[in-house]
Structure 1
Amino acid sequence: MAYQGPPSEAQGPPPSTVDVAPSKKVKKRVPQRNVDEFWDKFTTKFPGKIYSILPSNVYARTKAAQSPVGLVHGRATRKSYDEAVADCRAAVDGIARECRRVNLKYRDPHFDIEFDLKRNKRDCLDALNGAGSDLTPKSVKRVPDIFDNPVFFKEGATANDVRQGFNGDCWLLSALCAITNKKDLVDRVCVHRDEQVGVYGFVFHRDGSWAQTVIDDKLYLVAADFYESIDDKRTWEDVRRVDAEEEYRKANQTGSRSLCFAQCSDQDETWLPLLEKAFAKAHGDYGSIDGGFTGEAIEDLTGGVTTELLATDILDTDKFWTDQIMKVNDEFLFGCATGRFDKWQGSADAEQKGARKGVIRMHAYSVMEAREVKGERLLRIRNPWGDTEWQGPWSDGSEQWTPEWMKLLDHRFGDDGMFWISYKDFLRKYQSLDRTRLFGPEWSICQQWTTVNVPWSADYNDTKFSVTVTRPGPVVIVLSQLDSRYFKGLEGEYTFQLHFRFEKEGDESFMVRSHRNYSMSRSVSTDIDLEPGNYSVLMKITTKRWVGDSTPDQVIRNSCMNRPEKLIQVGLSYDLAHAKGEIRETEKEKAMRELREQKKKAADHQKRRAELRADMLKDWETDKKRLARRKRQAKRKEAYFQKKAEKANATEAAQQGQGSEAPIPEQNGAESANVEAPVSGVQAAAGIESKGADDQQEGSEARTAAMGETTSAPLSPPPETPMNGADEAGWVNEEEAKEDAGGRVEEGVGAAPTEAEKQTGGIVPADVIGKAGPEEDAEDEDWECASDASFQSSIVTELDLPPLSKAAPDEAPAEDSTVDEANAEFEDDPWNAVCVVGLKVYSQDKDLCVETIRPKHEVEESDTPLDVDDASKGQSVEKTEEIQTG
C-alpha cells in the first residue's frame, strides 16, 4: 500500500489516537513466585488421616492400646497362629453348646446370606463401593438341604477338587490349588467345625497376624426355589410329575453343581464352598474378593511372604530353576499369570484363548509340580476353572507323550484343567510369577507399624526403621501397607507404592533395595544374609491421587442412612486395621518431648520478659524525657509570669509616683499583681496547687508517668493575668511543641496535645528557653534518679508473669481462608496423603528386634549420600493401575 502522508485537520487524528482509553498497566509477577505459591497451596499444612469410622469405637481403641510400641523383639511365627486357633475353637465350641441348649441350628447374625438375599439388601454380595453388583444368586439353602451325603473332606483336599463358580476369585482358588500340594496346609486353615449344628471355624492371615472367622452352613445356589421360579414351576407342573417340587429340587438344587460360587468336583464334598464363604465374610462380602493375585491369596492362607517376579527379569534361568522352582511345595509356592501388560483390542474368547495356545490372559494359574526327567524340565500347571488347558508341546494328546512318559509323569489325558508345559515355554507364555516363601517353626517374626505423611514428590521419608541382628543368618525384610480389600469402599483417593533400601548403620552405601512391583502393591520384600549389627530401613513411598474416588467421610454420609449395617461391618474392619498405625509415644519419646517442652517454655518465658522489659523501658524513657521537659517548661513559664508581674508592678508604681507623692507600701511582685505564689515545676506540670507532701507527690507522679499514665490536667494561669494572644505568642515555641506532640504520637503514648495542654502543659516563651540554671538541672537529675529506682522495681514486679497461653498440641491452627481463584481447588482440598505402613522382619534369630525412628523436632539434614536413582526429587509420580486376575 502506498504512503499517503500525514492526515489533514479535516481528516482528524490517526485511527490509533481516536478515543483510545489509556492502557491499564499489568503488574508482572516473578515466575518462580507463582510456582512457589502454587506448591504452597497444593499441599496441606496439617496432614492427617481418618483412624476411626465408627463413633466411640472402644473395641478398636482397646486393640490399638495393646499394640507394642518402642523396641519390639521377635516372636515365633506360630504364636499368633496358635492364639487365633485357640480363639476359633473356643468360639465354635461355645456356639455349638448354645445351639444344642436351645435346639436350633446356628444362624450367623453377622453374615446371614439368606435374610440378605430375601430382603434384597445385598450387604453380603456387594461392597460399599458397589463391587460385586453383577453377582446374581437366586436362593440360599443349608448344607444338609443341598447335599445328599455331605462330607467336609473326602480323602483330603486336592487340587482336583477345585472348581471356580460365577465369582471372579480365580486368584483365591488358584492359591488353594497350590496349598493342597503341601500336606496339612488346608487343615491349618480349616481348624474346627461342628457339622451337626452347622458352625465352621477358619483362620486367615491379615496384616502380619492371624484372625479367626466363624460362619454357618448356608450357601448360595444358582436356581431359585420352586415356588419363586414361576416359569420353571409351570414347566415342571405341566409335565404332571408325581412330586414336581421334589424333582425340581433334585435337578436344580442338589449337589455341588447347584452352587453359585466355588464348588468341589465331588458332588458331596463341602470344604471348598465353605472356605470361600469364610474368606468372603472376612473381607466383608463376595464382591470384595473379585479379582486379585495368587501370591497374595497364598499369603492370606499360609502367612508366607510373596514376591512378584517378571519372567524377563530373571538373570540366570538355570539357577532360578535349581534354587527356586525345584523347591516348589517345600520352601516356596508359585502362582503365574499372563497378559497383565497387554494392550488388548480383541474381545472374543476364541481370540483370547488362541493368542497363547490355550493360556488365558488375565487369569490366575498355580504351579503344582516341577520335574526334571531325562534332561527335560517340565512343570505341571493347574487352571482353577477345571478345564481349558495349554495346547502346545506336552499338552494332552501332543506328540511328546509316549507310554513311557505317561508312566514316568503319572499323567492321564482329560480336560480337567491340569496340564504339563516345558520350562522354556513356561517362561515364554507366563509373564509374571508370584513366589511365596513359607516359614517353618524355626522362624520368628518381628514387626512394627506406624503412620507416615507422603509428599507429592517422591523421596525417602523422615521416618525409618532400625533393625538389630544378634547372630548371623538369613533374614526376610517386608515393607507392607494395610490390606485395603478388608475395607473396600473406604480406601479413599490415594493409592500407594512402596519402596525401601536397606543399609548398615555407619556405612555410606546401601546393601540392598526392594525392586518395584508392577501389579501387586500390598508389600515389597527382599531376602538377605546378615551379620550381627545395627541396620536401617529407609522408606520411599510414591502415591497417586484418584480425584474422582470417594473419601471416607463422603462414604459415611452416603451410607449411614442407606446401608447402616454394612457401614458398621466395614467400618469396624477399617478401625481395627488402622489401630495399628496410631502413633503412641514410647517412654523415651515422652521424656524427650517433656524435656523439649520445658526448655521451650523457659526460653519463651525469658523472651517474653525481655520483650516486655524493652517495651516498658522504651515507654518509660519517652515519658521521662517528656515529663522532664514539661517540668522545665513549667519553670520557665513560672519565671515568665514572675517577670511579667514585676514589670507590671514597676509600671504601676511609676504611674502612682507621677500622680501622688505619697509613699507606696512595699509589696512583692506576686502580691502587687495578685499572682499566686509559684509552685514547684513538678506540681505545675501536674496541676497541683497545694505544696503539702511535695516529695511524696512528686515521686508518685513520676512513677505514674513512667508507667505510661501521665496526667493531662491543665495548669491554672494567674487569675489576675488573663491569657491573650500576645502572651501566647510571647512564650510559644513551635519546635519544642512539635517535639512534644510528635514524641507522644510516634512513641505510642497518646494523641497530640489539646488546646488546654498548649496553654498550660509545656509551651514556654521563646525568651526563656535555654535559660535554666544549675539548680534546675540538679532537680531534673534528682527526679530521674528517684523515678528510675522506683521504676526498676516496678518492672521486676510486672514481668513476673506466667507464660502466654498456647493451643493444645492436638489443635492445629486454622488455615488461611483466603482463596486464590487460580488455586481454589487445592486451597479447598489440598494434597493430604497419609499411609499406614509396617515393617516385618522374619529371621531365625530369636533376639532380633525392630524399632521405629521418627523424625526429630529439630530439622537436621541427613549426611547419607543417596544414589542417583534414589535422590531424585520433584519428579512426576506415575503409577500403573493394579491389574488383578480373576
Structure 2
Amino acid sequence: MPEHGRFHRRRRKFMPRKIDASEKAIEQLYARYKVNAGMDATQIEAKLMGKTKFVDSEFPPQLVSVTGDTKGNLEGKRRARENLEDFEGLRWARPEEIYHDITIFKKGRGDKDAIEPNDIDQGTLGDCWFCSALACLAENPAHITKALVTKKWSKSGAYDVRLCIAGVWQIVTVDDCLPVHENGDPVFLSSKDHDLWVMLIEKAYAKVHGSYLSLAGGFSAMAFEDITGCAAETLQFSTVMKGDPVKLWDFFVKHTSQEDPVCISSISRPKECGFTEKEWKKTGIFSGHAYSVLDAKEHKGLRLLQVRNPWGGSESKLDFNDDDREHWTPELIKAFGATFKEDGTFFIKFEDVLRCFNLVDICYMHGADCHPFQASRASSTFTTGDAKQLSHCWRFEITKETEVVASIHQKDERDPRVPRYIDHRVIIADAASRGTVYAHKASMRKKSTVARCTLEPGSYVLIAHTTGRRMAKLGYTEAPFAVSLHAAESTKLVPVDHRLASNHAEQALMSMNGDVRSCASDKMQKYAVLAVGILILVTVAMSKNAYLAHMHRTSFYHDQLLFS
C-alpha cells in the first residue's frame, strides 16, 4: 500500500483534548494519586490504574520542554528567540488522539517485534546524528528493545527508557504527551508505521538534556554511547588512515563484520574540499549529514560501502546508485547482494566515500573474536580546596589476553544546566609497577574519551586524574565523573586508597615529557605521550620481545599516538 494510503488508514482525525500541564494541576494530580517524581513507570501505572493520565512534572508538555529553560540562561534565551516562531502552533497530544492502533513496536512474523530502520522519520529538529544512530542500532532490534523498559502501551501514559548518561545507567520516566503540529503530525522524530518507540526514546533523551532543541547538532557516537552503554567515539578519516586509505577500508570491514554500529558524516563545507556547488549537488549527498554504514564488501578490486540515509528516500547520485545501469552488472548485483528500493539505502564506491565524507562514528560492542564486550563501571568526584583529591584509582584483574576499551565520561555540555567540561586523564597501569605507558587518548573538552589496547593476563589499576586547572578557572570545587572498562571478559573495578592512586598518577606523569621514551629494562617497555586534556595511558608488564610482538598484532586509531 502506498505510504499516503497507509498513513490515512491508521491516522485519526486530529481532535486534541487540552492537556492541563499547569504546575497547580500537576500538583493536584500527584497529591490525589500519591504519585511523586521519583517513581518509575510501573509504580505510576499502579497508582493511576488507568483512571487518569500521567503528566511529567520534570518535563511537562510546555514550550519550555522544547526550547529549554530561558530564565537567566543566555543559551536558553537564544534558543527561545530563534525558535519561538517555529513552534507557535505547536500542540501536545496523546498517542490515542493521533493513531487508531497504538503499539510500542509493531509485530512481525512469529509475533516478534518488527523494528525497522526505515521506519524512522526525522521531523523538523536538526538531530540527524541521533536519528542516524537510532537507525543504525535498529539494524539489531535488541538494542532498541533493551532501551525501552516499558514494552506495552500504558493506559496511564507512563514509560521507562533506559539510558547510559555520562557513563552511568539510569531509568528515565516520561509521559506520552507528544509535540505535534496543528494537523497532528509529530514535530520531531516519529515512526512511519506510527510505533511509539522512536518518539519515546527521543523524548527521554531530550529530557535528560534539558529540552528537545538541545539535541540539535552532534555526533552519532554520543547517541551510540548513551543508548547502548558501549564505548563510542568520533574519528577523522585521517586519524584512522594515517596516510594509508587501506587502513580505513579495513576499519569498515572489521567493524561491520563484527556488527559494531558505524556511521559516517559528509563534509560540511564542500567548497573548501574542491567541489563547486553544481558538482556537489550532482553527488546527491547532503553536506554535514550522518549516514549509517551497513556493510563493506569487495569484489575483484571493487570496494563498495552500503549506507543508509536516515531521511529515507534521498539517495546518492554517484556511481552504483540504484538507477545506475552502466556499472551494475548481474555479476556485481549478485556479489554485493544489491536490491534497488526507494528506502534511503544505497551503495557508494570507497573512492567516493573518501571524497565526500570525513568523519566516522564507531560503537565498540565486540572484541576481535566478535564476542560482546562486558562493562565495568565506577564513578567518583574530583575535589579541590581542603578536601583536595585530584586522582582516583580502581584495581582490576585480567585472566586472559583480551582487548580492552577504557573511557572517561562527564555530563554533556549541550545541557546548559550541567557544568562545563574539565580536563581529565585516565591511566591504566600494571598494579605492581608504576609509570609505564602503553596507549593514550587526549582531549581537553569532550563528553567522553576512548582508548583501546590489548592486555596480557595480570593485575592492573585504572586511575582517573585531573590537573584541577580548569576546575580552578571555572570556579568548581567539585567535578563528578565516571570511568568504564569494556573487555571480552568480566572484570570488577575495586576502589584503591586515594594516596596510592596519587602515587600511581605521579609516577605515570613523571614518565612523560613530550616524547615517546623507552624504559631501560628488558622486562618493562615504557611508552609515553604528553597531550593536553584527557590522556588514556595503558601499561602492561612484559618482555621486550613480547611487547614488540604484541604491538605488531594490535591496531590503534588515535590522534598523536607515537612509537619510537
Whether these two folds match at TM > 0.5 is yes
Q: Distance in 2 between matches of 1:191 and 1:860?
A: 41
Match of 2:54 in 1: 106
Match of 1:219 in 2: 178
CA shift digits 1:358-389 (9 cap, x unpaired): 33332222212233345433221122222433
Q: Distance in 1 between matches of 2:391 and 2:181?
A: 51
Aligned in 2, Cα 1:152/1:505: closer, same or farther, shift over 3 Å?
closer
* Cα displacement (A) at 1:281: 2.1
Q: Distance in 1 between matches of 2:456 and 2:501?
A: 32
CA shift digits 1:593-641 (9 cap, x unpaired): xxxxxxxxxxxxxxxxxxxxxxxxxxxxxxxxxxxxxxxxxxxxxxxxx
1:868 to 513, 518, 522: 513
1:842 and 2:491 correspond: no
Q: Distance in 1 between matches of 2:336 and 2:505?
A: 62
Instruction: Give the letter aligned to residue 459 of structure 2.
Output: G
Aligned in 2, Cα 1:878/1:295: closer, same or farther, shift over 3 Å?
closer
* Cα displacement (A) at 1:176: 0.8
* Cα displacement (A) at 1:451: 0.6
Matches within 5 A, 1:426-445: 426-438=353-365, 443-445=374-376
Match of 1:382 in 2: 308
Count, aligned residues: 455
Q: Distance in 2 between matches of 1:344 and 1:850?
A: 52
Contact kept? 2:147, 2:227, Cα under 8 Å: yes
Q: Distance in 1 between matches of 2:69 and 2:505?
A: 45
Q: Distance in 2 between matches of 1:168 and 1:544?
A: 31
SS of the equivalent of 2:352 reads helix
1:465 and 2:393 correspond: yes
Match of 1:177 in 2: 135
Matches within 5 A, 1:272-287: 272-287=198-213
Aligned in 2, Cα 1:478/1:95: closer, same or farther, shift over 3 Å?
same
Contact kept? 2:94, 2:177, Cα under 8 Å: yes
The higher relative CO (CA closer than 8 Å, separation ≥ 6) is in 1
Contact kept? 2:230, 2:486, Cα under 8 Å: no
Q: Distance in 1 between matches of 2:231 and 2:162?
A: 17
Aligned in 2, Cα 1:543/1:272: closer, same or farther, shift over 3 Å?
farther
Q: Distance in 1 between matches of 2:270 and 2:333?
A: 38
Contact kept? 1:544, 1:878, Cα under 8 Å: no
Q: Distance in 2 between matches of 1:366 and 1:140?
A: 31
Aligned in 2, Cα 1:292/1:400: closer, same or farther, shift over 3 Å?
same
Match of 2:317 in 1: 391
Instruction: Give the letter aligned to residue 204 of structure 2.
Output: A
Match of 2:404 in 1: 476
1:424 to 335, 351, 362: 351
Match of 2:459 in 1: 533
Contact kept? 1:359, 1:390, Cα under 8 Å: yes
Q: Distance in 2 between matches of 1:425 and 1:519?
A: 32
Matches within 5 A, 1:519-598: 520-535=446-461, 537=463, 539=465
Q: Distance in 2 between matches of 1:830 and 1:144?
A: 47
Match of 2:188 in 1: 261
Match of 2:235 in 1: 309
Aligned in 2, Cα 1:352/1:141: closer, same or farther, shift over 3 Å?
farther
1:449 and 2:377 correspond: no
Q: Distance in 2 between matches of 1:138 and 1:862?
A: 56
SS of the equivalent of 2:347 reads strand
CA shift digits 1:575-594 (9 cap, x unpaired): xxxxxxxxxxxxxxxxxxxx
1:208 to 167, 181, 193: 167
Contact kept? 1:167, 1:290, Cα under 8 Å: yes
* Cα displacement (A) at 1:412: 4.4
Matches within 5 A, 1:56-135: 91-100=40-49, 103-113=51-61, 116-117=62-63, 122-128=64-70, 129-130=75-76, 132-133=79-80, 134=83
Q: Distance in 2 between matches of 1:179 and 1:857?
A: 38
2:92 to 140, 149, 172: 140
Q: Distance in 2 between matches of 1:123 and 1:161?
A: 25
SS of the equivalent of 1:94 reads helix
Aligned in 2, Cα 1:338/1:497: closer, same or farther, shift over 3 Å?
farther
Query: RMSD of aligned C-alpha atoms?
Result: 4.1
Q: Distance in 2 between matches of 1:270 and 1:160?
A: 15
Match of 2:552 in 1: none
1:165 to 123, 132, 135: 123
SS of the equivalent of 1:484 reads coil
* Cα displacement (A) at 1:403: 4.5
Aligned in 2, Cα 1:473/1:108: closer, same or farther, shift over 3 Å?
same
Decide which structure has greater helix share. Answer: 1
Q: TM-score, normalised by structure 2?
A: 0.69
Identity of aligned residues (%): 22
Asked which structure has the greater CA Rg, the reply is 1
Contact kept? 2:291, 2:308, Cα under 8 Å: yes
Q: Distance in 1 between matches of 2:188 and 2:406?
A: 33
Q: Distance in 2 between matches of 1:485 and 1:372?
A: 40
SS of the equivalent of 1:298 reads helix
Q: Distance in 2 between matches of 1:502 and 1:356?
A: 48
Match of 1:150 in 2: 102
Match of 2:267 in 1: 339
Match of 1:45 in 2: none
Instruction: Give the letter aligned to residue 181 of structure 1.
Output: E
Instruction: Give the letter aligned to residue 212 of structure 1.
Output: I
Q: Distance in 2 between matches of 1:307 and 1:452?
A: 27
CA shift digits 1:625-676 (9 cap, x unpaired): xxxxxxxxxxxxxxxxxxxxxxxxxxxxxxxxxxxxxxxxxxxxxxxxxxxx
Decide which structure has greater strand share. Answer: 2
Aligned in 2, Cα 1:200/1:395: closer, same or farther, shift over 3 Å?
same
Instruction: Give the letter aligned to residue 430 of structure 1.
Output: F
Match of 2:521 in 1: none
Q: Distance in 2 between matches of 1:211 and 1:536?
A: 23
* Cα displacement (A) at 1:161: 0.7
CA shift digits 1:123-163 (9 cap, x unpaired): 44324531642151522222122123333323411111112
Contact kept? 2:265, 2:360, Cα under 8 Å: yes
Q: Distance in 1 between matches of 2:502 and 2:206?
A: 47
* Cα displacement (A) at 1:530: 2.8
* Cα displacement (A) at 1:352: 9.4
SS of the equivalent of 2:144 reads helix
Q: TM-score, normalised by structure 1?
A: 0.45
Matches within 5 A, 1:491-510: 491-492=418-419, 494-504=420-430, 510=436
User: Unaligned regions of 5+ residues in structure 1, if any?
Assistant: 1-87, 224-251, 455-460, 546-825, 880-886
Instruction: Give the letter aligned to residue 866 of structure 1.
Output: S
Match of 1:236 in 2: none
* Cα displacement (A) at 1:535: 4.1
Q: Distance in 2 between matches of 1:216 and 1:288?
A: 19
Match of 2:153 in 1: 194
* Cα displacement (A) at 1:282: 3.0
Instruction: Give the letter aligned to residue 153 of structure 2.
Output: D
1:369 and 2:292 correspond: no
* Cα displacement (A) at 1:445: 1.0
SS of the equivalent of 2:288 reads coil
Q: Distance in 2 between matches of 1:415 and 1:124?
A: 32
Instruction: Give the letter aligned to residue 382 of structure 2.
Output: T
Contact kept? 1:132, 1:290, Cα under 8 Å: no
Contact kept? 1:200, 1:217, Cα under 8 Å: yes
Instruction: Give the letter aligned to residue 328 of structure 2.
Output: W
CA shift digits 1:208-266 (9 cap, x unpaired): 3321223333221222xxxxxxxxxxxxxxxxxxxxxxxxxxxx33xxxx221112223
Q: Distance in 2 between matches of 1:859 and 1:302?
A: 34
Q: Distance in 2 between matches of 1:161 and 1:205?
A: 24
2:219 to 265, 273, 293: 293
Aligned in 2, Cα 1:403/1:860: closer, same or farther, shift over 3 Å?
closer
